[in-house]
């Protein structure tokens, strides 16, 4: 799962990137086209417990690949993204928009004043405009070819939707419509989560930025973060971090809570495979069919799919971590291609190629 981190210059994107990934990427590189990239594991206690039972040679967590898209001078002060950034973002699965909600006289906002709601709305408009340009070019091409077919009709509906100020993710798409536009990689169609980057004065107080009301109105997800504080804490010895967080009233490590929240809010979940060779979490979207989940492991398994042997993680643990006992309890079942996977399903795929 590749997640693009976006935002206006001086919003603290790279600070957030470093806090989330434990990286030490240079901050303040406003003119650079180079994206910062890092991979981080998704915390999952189930992997630890299954590893204690199976004693595998290897254990593998689900992962996020974070791509920090640096604002470029070519975008202009009133834009967060230029053409190079837009190209990189097309290869991401989801977006996290870091919205500046802190005041610092030493870090000038490119628009001269801090206004979190304005910036959040402006980013949505940029993503929508990017999609609108692609749609209009394709419609023009279809009209020249006299092809007013199903693709044409659907793209016209998409254009109307965006012109009404709505992102494509708020449209309902049929399976056939998704297939028609599969190659377009529309940015306003991607799952998005806002990350409010607050100052330390926000701790213990209500949100003064208006972001909470904004996301509620738009049906978006919001995670609160204090990037500068998180970086400072990350520099402390590990044994001192929990106590320091407790003294500041910060609760659990924000990196852990963010990754867990992002995994859920972006519509993701994990199914598990477990045995002596490896205990592993595999990332899929919610409501993924068993046959498609098999393809995440290997295309041959998907192609030769016969059945999926499924045991819910909780049922497995209730059986004392014994698959034999789980079968005796009637908690192991065979499912077909159309079965919708559940978070925490322990799976053995039966296939023949």
Q: Quickly list DSSP for 15-30.
A: HHHHHHH---PPS--T
Residue 60 and residue 27: Cα distance in Å, rounded?
Answer: 31
Residue 19 has pLDDT above 90, yes or no: no
Task: Give CATH superfamily name and number for 2-265.
Answer: P-loop containing nucleotide triphosphate hydrolases (3.40.50.300)
Supply the DSSP symbol for 220: -
Residue 74 has pLDDT above 60, yes or no: no
Tokens 């789980």 belong to which residue? 326
Decide which of 78 and 199 is more confident. 199
Angle separating helix axes 116-144 and 150-163, nearest 10 degrees: 150
Tell me the Cα Rg of the chain: 23
Residue 253 has pLDDT above 70, yes or no: no
Supply the DSSP symbol for 82: -
Question: Across the chain, what does the average pLDDT equal?
Answer: 87
pTM score: 0.81
Tens of pLDDT along 313-337? 999 999 999 999 999 999 999 999 9
Phi/psi for 293 (5° steps) reads: -65, -35
Closest CA to 292 of 337, 227, 343: 337
- What are the residue ranges spanned by the domains of the chain? 2-265, 287-351
Tens of pLDDT along 76-128? 566 788 888 888 899 998 899 999 988 877 777 766 788 999 999 999 999 99
Residue 205 has pLDDT above 70, yes or no: no
Decide which of 246 and 287 is more confident. 287
Instruction: Compute the average pLDDT of residues 285-290.
Output: 93
| CATH T-level topology, domain 287-351 | Ubiquitin-like (UB roll) (3.10.20)
């Amino acid at each position: 799962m590749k997640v693009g981190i976006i935002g206006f210059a001086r919003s603290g994107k790279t600070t957030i990137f470093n806090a989330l990934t434990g990286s030490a990427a240079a901050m303040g590189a406003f003119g650079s086209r180079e994206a910062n990239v890092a991979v981080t594991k998704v915390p999952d206690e189930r992997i630890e417990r299954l590893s204690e039972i199976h004693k595998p040679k290897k254990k593998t967590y689900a992962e996020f690949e974070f791509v920090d898209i640096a604002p470029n001078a070519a975008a202009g002060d009133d834009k967060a993204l230029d053409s190079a950034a837009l190209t990189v973002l097309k290869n991401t699965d989801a977006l996290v928009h870091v919205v500046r909600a802190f005041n610092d006289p030493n870090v000038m906002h490119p628009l001269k004043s801090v206004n979190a709601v304005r910036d959040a709305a402006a980013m949505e408009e940029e993503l929508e405009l990017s999609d609108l340009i692609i749609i209009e070019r394709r419609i023009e091409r279809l009209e020249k070819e006299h092809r007013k077919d199903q693709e044409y009709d659907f793209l016209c509906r998409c254009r109307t939707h965006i012109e009404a100020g709505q992102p494509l993710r708020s449209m309902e798409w049929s399976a056939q419509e998704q297939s028609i536009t599969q190659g377009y990689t529309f940015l306003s169609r991607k799952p998005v989560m806002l990350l409010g980057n607050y100052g330390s004065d926000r701790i213990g107080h209500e949100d003064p930025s208006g972001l909470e009301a904004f996301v509620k109105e738009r049906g978006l997800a919001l995670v609160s973060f204090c990037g500068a504080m998180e970086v400072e804490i990350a520099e402390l010895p590990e044994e001192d971090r929990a106590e320091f967080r407790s003294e500041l009233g910060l609760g659990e490590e924000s990196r852990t809570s963010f990754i867990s929240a992002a995994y859920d809010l972006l519509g993701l979940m994990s199914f598990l495979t477990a045995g002596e060779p490896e205990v592993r979490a595999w990332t899929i979207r919610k409501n993924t069919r068993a046959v498609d989940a098999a393809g995440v492991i290997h295309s041959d398994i998907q192609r030769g799919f016969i059945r999926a042997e499924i045991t819910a993680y909780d049922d497995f643990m209730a059986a004392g971590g014994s698959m034999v006992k789980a079968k005796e309890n009637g908690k192991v079942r065979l499912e077909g291609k159309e079965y919708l996977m559940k978070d925490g399903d322990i799976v053995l795929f039966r296939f023949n190629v």
